[in-house]
Amino acid sequence: MARAKFSVIHAPQHAEQSLRLDPALTERWLTAFLYDEIVKRRGMRNAVVGVSGGVDSAVVAYLCAKALGPRSVLGVRMPYRTSSEESYTHAGLVIRETGIRDLVVDISSAVDGYLEQEADASPRRKGNVMARMRMVVLFDQSAKYGGIPVGTGNKSERLLGYFTWHADDSPPINPIGDLFKTQVWQLARHLGVPRAIIEKPATADLIKGQTDEDDLGISYEKADRILQQLLTGYTLAEITEQGFAERDVQLVSQKVNSTHWKRHLPTTAVVSATAINEFYLRPVDY
């Protein structure tokens, strides 16, 4: 009898969970979220977005314009005197391309008014003051404009703790907070965000020449894949076995584990059986 020939089919070595998004579905989902949260739930019409010139706020501006119509979105540029000219120009480009309303508020005098009394403030402290001042502006403009501030923090920076507490994270709604940075880039391409904004190095632009990846010590491309594995429940050893450098896995893990507090409301001493959010539990939209 002739010998049977079998072809052996191998599965890929490791079926790493994909960070791929269907951008059209994601756009549909997030614009529905914005419309539901702003119009249906709160009965408001307008969104206020701080447009920095980076890809995160660009994506949020595009989504808000699609969800509410561009004239219902106020894009606020808030340069400080040391902010980069390129960021300002790119923010203007986003506002022009989306057709949202344009407002420029220079925060230099407000920030300096405080920092003049703090001559030895470190660059980190100065950056935090700028970030918090921008939120002061956004919330105030929301009150003036009859709108709601919309957050622009992505999941990668939220997990790595790479944001100023009670600043970037303070707007009551955020459409991209569950998207990793690399997913924000995917969505940005789909939405038509200008390539110059997508392809430039991400930066908080709080210090001249600063980039996110230099600050973090790892690229978003690597960090996101490690974060995805961590959050799915794999151990550090298992992630390292998949071919990631031990140093990178440790770095990401350490950043996540040292910043859980930044992803929560302030800790309140519980002294009763009716403590808010401990015993007395009502959801945010109740």
Residues in contact with other proteins by the rule CB under 8 A: 18, 20-22, 24-26, 28-29, 32-33, 36-37, 40-41, 173, 280-286
Please tell me the distance from the alpha carbon of residue 188 to that of residue 157, in angstroms, as a whole number: 17
- Any bridge partners for residue 75, and if so which? 49, 102
Q: Which is nearer to other proteins, 34 or 131 (CB)?
A: 34
Q: What are 26-33's contacts with CB under 8 Å, separation 24+?
A: 26/179, 26/183, 26/187, 26/190, 27/63, 27/66, 27/187, 27/190, 27/191, 30/63, 30/67, 30/175, 30/176, 31/63, 31/66, 31/67, 32/67, 33/173, 33/175
Residue 29 φ/ψ region, left for φ over 0, alpha for ψ in the -120 to 50 degree band, beta for the rest? alpha
Nearest distance, CB of residue 283 and other proteins, angstroms: 5
Q: Which is nearer to other proteins, 18 or 122 (CB)?
A: 18
Nearest distance, CB of residue 94 and other proteins, angstroms: 23
Q: Which is nearer to other proteins, 196 or 275 (CB)?
A: 275
DSSP for 6-42, please give it. Answer: ----PPPS--PPP----HHHHHHHHHHHHHIIIIIIT
Nearest distance, CB of residue 171 and other proteins, angstroms: 13
Q: Which is nearer to other proteins, 4 or 284 (CB)?
A: 284
Nearest distance, CB of residue 49 and other proteins, angstroms: 18
Please tell me the distance from the alpha carbon of residue 89 to that of residue 262, in angstroms, as a whole number: 31
Q: Which is nearer to other proteins, 77 or 158 (CB)?
A: 158
Nearest distance, CB of residue 36 and other proteins, angstroms: 4
Q: Which is nearer to other proteins, 227 or 249 (CB)?
A: 227
Nearest distance, CB of residue 181 and other proteins, angstroms: 16
